[in-house]
A and B are shown apart, each in its own frame.
Chain A
Amino acid sequence: IKMHEKRNTKQKNDEKTPKGAVPAYLLDREGQTRAKVLSNMIKQKRKEKAGKWEVPVPKVRAQGETEVLKVIRTGKRKKKAWKRMVTKICFVGDGFTRKPPKYERFIRPMGLRFKKAHVTHPELKATFCLPILGVKKNPSSPLYTTLGVITKGTVIEVNVSELGLVTQGGKVIWGKYAQVTNNPENDGCINAVLLV
């Protein structure tokens, strides 16, 4: 089927044929450019599959578990290794309360919890410090999304009431998505670009 999709097009390349008589052993075959042209249809389908968003940071390096989660040893002889501590910047909601320490598997340290992000509006070219509402998707793993880990390329939801945007119908927009553009654990701050 694939072969059917990619037709070999043979086009006559006029420019390469020399003008005037040429001896037989110098005769080239007519320059043919064999181009594999993908059919339009396939292109369209791929685009759709990639999602409805054209994001500023399309591809990110996937973060492995060993990078994001650090093993914490517990127990009398420090043998048990079922707890994990997040080493990247994360976001926990307002009403967040920890599970009882004995049972919590993932530890999100307070020093790494951030509430605000520096969001740039791509058209206005202005940056605002907006409170984060939540983490929408972390490209590396759905586990990180549920934990609220923010790394480069994460899509977060921010509170844009400060910008004063209004819909067509007259309603005030107060939440929008933004994508993180830096490595927050290296810079100590979350820089994001608003997805308009």
Chain B
Amino acid sequence: MALYNFKKITVVPSAKDFIDLTLSKTQRKTPTVIHKHYQIHRIRHFYMRKVKYTQQNYHDRLTQILTDFPKLDDIHPFYADLMNVLYDKDHYKLALGQINIAKNLIDNVGKDYVRLMKYGDSLYRCKQLKRAALGRMCTIIKRQKQSLEYLEQVRQHLSRLPTIDPNTRTLLLCGYPNVGKSSFINKVTRADVEVQPYAFTTKSLFVGHMDYKYLRWQVVDTPGILDHPLEDRNTIEMQAITALAHLRAAVLYVMDVSEQCGHSLEEQVELFKNIKPLFANKPLIIVANKCDVKRIAELPEESQKIFEAFEAEGFSVIETSTLTEEGVIQVKTEACDRLLAHRVDTKMKGNKVNEVLNRLHLAMPNKRDNKERLPFIPEGAITRKKRMEVDTPKRKLERDLELELGDDYILDLQKYWDLMNSSEKYDKIPEIWEGHNILDYIDPDIMRKLEELEKEEELREAAGEYDSEPESEDEEMMEIRQLAQQIREKKKLKILQSKEKDTRGPRMPRTAKKASIEHVQRKVLEKEMTDLGLDMTNKDDAHYVRRSRSATRKRKRDESVTPTSVARSRSCSRTPRDVSGLRDEKMVKKVKTMAKKAQKKMNRLGRKGESDRHIFDLKPKHLLVGKRKSGKTQRR
């Protein structure tokens, strides 16, 4: 689903940047040194590599662009329509088509020039061909300048579109400009849409989220729609129309009763009638906003009749004021309830319901006698539920008190004390009473009471009140507990043992020791196992036993293939490096002689290492002296 991938489209570079990028990349990532005297196949390969590399880069980048941009046919029709409104579908498709063509052209150029370069017989010719190839590819990209610019702008705008999920519960606000849609959404959700007195403050769709009945709801704010036919609408209004057309949402048609928006009530009703076809199959609520200025009851007769007509048609009319927040919550609950009911209905009518219904089964317990047993709901729950519905605060919080009193507020915890005589709550506590310091007060019986308590605790423990239930654990758990106990004991023993060891000075870490010895002693292993209770008496044939060479010759083997323990007195688990990979002694000898031979030249020349190129005698006499008569002046 390409919904949220709008933010992950790769940046489309401008033509100039694209060319610079790719060429500099070719410069950096391919070898740069070539000489005339190299062999021709090397020269050819060098230049072919550059051409291919550049072609590959362009190809990759262009493919990336093509796949990242959403295909208008694959995304949700709401987004497809929105993109058509904002970016013009034809232009968009054309731009992407041009990029595709450019990609193919570049591929062809690359192929052709690589083919030609096979016949290049000199460095100059190959170089010119490479230059021509790269130049051609870059010209192709230069011609795409317009498309690339357009796509970059589209990408930037796309990534800033609000993420509207077309399938979830949505409330859609529509109406004339300046009627109060944005103020409504600001009130109901945490969105912060700009509210200004001029029309068309909102120029695009905005989303806000709110919670109701433990579900997430989207509220979509649209730019205002004016009353003219579809063809005359501009881009901003078309966005609103698109949202109306494609989102399955509850529609809140907001009207301005006080006519402060600049359009009369009749005009608003006209608009309503015109866009009514878009409301098909959607729960609709008429929101009469700005009722703090003018209520419906204050309106003249004809206007009131309009509202009565609405009521008659079955659309509920709710008066609200976003300023005083009157009726806002009512609108919200009504819209959400109706939308939920509508969605449930559609789901029930659909096919998927049956799948779910088949799997649901409500199990009722069998009645064992005729006694009626009603469900028990405690009083507190009922009162709390009632209070939730009414939405009143439970009790006056300290915070509320603090806000009320403002500066006068003093934190008074003493009112919560639970005393026998409640009138004594605010009495001052004396510091000295009957000659004693109150702070020094210790109950003289305190020790006795403590002892009594402890005895009680012991009795309780003996009685088994604190024991965990044995029936709750099954056999497995018991075994596991036993094992855990054993492990703990063993661990403690080992710790004590290691402490007893007489060590002086630093000790090698265990891993080093392990590597040097390379195996655990058989005796140690067997001892440990017997300690644990296993029978280790007859284990000569076990896999962990190291055997001498005679004992291993149980299977018939080729004479040439001897076991890996070659030329070693004691077998180890890891073969030493100088004989690893070698079959027999003959090979080992040969390898050793080869190694020595390789060192001969270095030793003879007195070189310190492979990279030592020091020349001891820069001007050898036998080469630089004498006339050119006899030999010995090679290439002077």
Residues of A at the B interface (CB closer than 8 Å) are 70, 87, 109, 111-112, 183, 185-189
B128 CB–A CB distance under 8 Å:
yes
- Bound CA span A63–B129, Å: 19
- Bound CA span A104–B133, Å: 32
Check if B118 sits within 8 Å of A111, measured CB to CB: yes
Q: What chain B residues lie within 8 Å of A183 (beta carbons)?
A: 128
B112 CB–A CB distance under 8 Å:
yes
Check if A112 sits within 8 Å of B116, measured CB to CB: yes
CB contact under 8 A between A186 and B132, given known A111-B115, A112-B116: yes
- Bound CA span A112–B118, Å: 10
Partner of A186, one of B112, B118, B129: B129
Check if B119 sits within 8 Å of A188, measured CB to CB: no
Q: Which of B339-359 contact A (CB under 8 A)?
A: none
Q: What chain A residues lie within 8 Å of B124 (beta carbons)?
A: 186
Check if A189 sits within 8 Å of B121, measured CB to CB: no
Check if A111 sits within 8 Å of B116, measured CB to CB: yes
1/0 contact string of B93-117 vs chain A (CB within 8 Å)? 0000000000000000000110110
Residues of B at the A interface (CB closer than 8 Å) are 112-113, 115-116, 118-119, 121, 124-125, 128-129, 132-133
Check if A112 sits within 8 Å of B119, measured CB to CB: yes
Nearest A residue to B133, CB-CB: A188
- Bound CA span A87–B117, Å: 11
Minimum Cβ distance to chain B for residue A118 (Å): 12
- Bound CA span A185–B129, Å: 8
Check if B121 sits within 8 Å of A188, measured CB to CB: no
Minimum Cβ distance to chain B for residue A139 (Å): 20
Q: What chain A residues lie within 8 Å of B119 (beta carbons)?
A: 87, 109, 111-112, 185
Q: Return 22 A-B CB contacts under 8 Å, by A number.
A: A70-B121, A87-B121, A109-B119, A111-B115, A111-B116, A111-B118, A111-B119, A112-B116, A183-B128, A185-B116, A185-B119, A185-B125, A186-B124, A186-B125, A186-B129, A186-B132, A187-B128, A187-B132, A188-B112, A188-B129, A188-B132, A189-B132
Across chains A and B, which 7 residue pairs bring their CB atoms closest together, nearest first?
Answer: A186-B128, A187-B132, A111-B115, A188-B132, A188-B116, A188-B113, A186-B125
Minimum Cβ distance to chain A for residue B447 (Å): 108
- Bound CA span A109–B115, Å: 11
Nearest A residue to B117, CB-CB: A188
Q: What chain A residues lie within 8 Å of B118 (beta carbons)?
A: 111
Q: What chain A residues lie within 8 Å of B132 (beta carbons)?
A: 186-189
- Bound CA span A189–B124, Å: 16
- Bound CA span A189–B125, Å: 13
Q: What chain B residues lie within 8 Å of A188 (beta carbons)?
A: 112-113, 116, 129, 132-133
Nearest A residue to B135, CB-CB: A187
Nearest A residue to B120, CB-CB: A185
Q: What chain A residues lie within 8 Å of B128 (beta carbons)?
A: 183, 186-187
Nearest A residue to B118, CB-CB: A111
Q: What chain B residues lie within 8 Å of A189 (beta carbons)?
A: 132
Minimum Cβ distance to chain B for residue A4 (Å): 49
Q: What chain B residues lie within 8 Å of A186 (beta carbons)?
A: 124-125, 128-129, 132
Nearest B residue to A183, CB-CB: B128
Nearest B residue to A89, CB-CB: B116
- Bound CA span A112–B129, Å: 13
* Known contacts A186-B129, A188-B116; 18 further A-B pairs (Cβ under 8 A): A87-B121, A109-B119, A111-B118, A111-B119, A112-B116, A112-B119, A185-B116, A185-B119, A185-B125, A186-B128, A186-B132, A187-B128, A187-B129, A187-B132, A188-B113, A188-B129, A188-B132, A189-B132
- Bound CA span A189–B112, Å: 10
Minimum Cβ distance to chain A for residue B6 (Å): 41
Nearest B residue to A189, CB-CB: B132
Minimum Cβ distance to chain A for residue B121 (Å): 6
Minimum Cβ distance to chain B for residue A131 (Å): 17
- Bound CA span A46–B119, Å: 41
Nearest B residue to A109, CB-CB: B119
- Bound CA span A183–B115, Å: 17
Q: What chain A residues lie within 8 Å of B121 (beta carbons)?
A: 70, 87
- Bound CA span A111–B113, Å: 10
Q: What chain A residues lie within 8 Å of B116 (beta carbons)?
A: 111-112, 185, 188
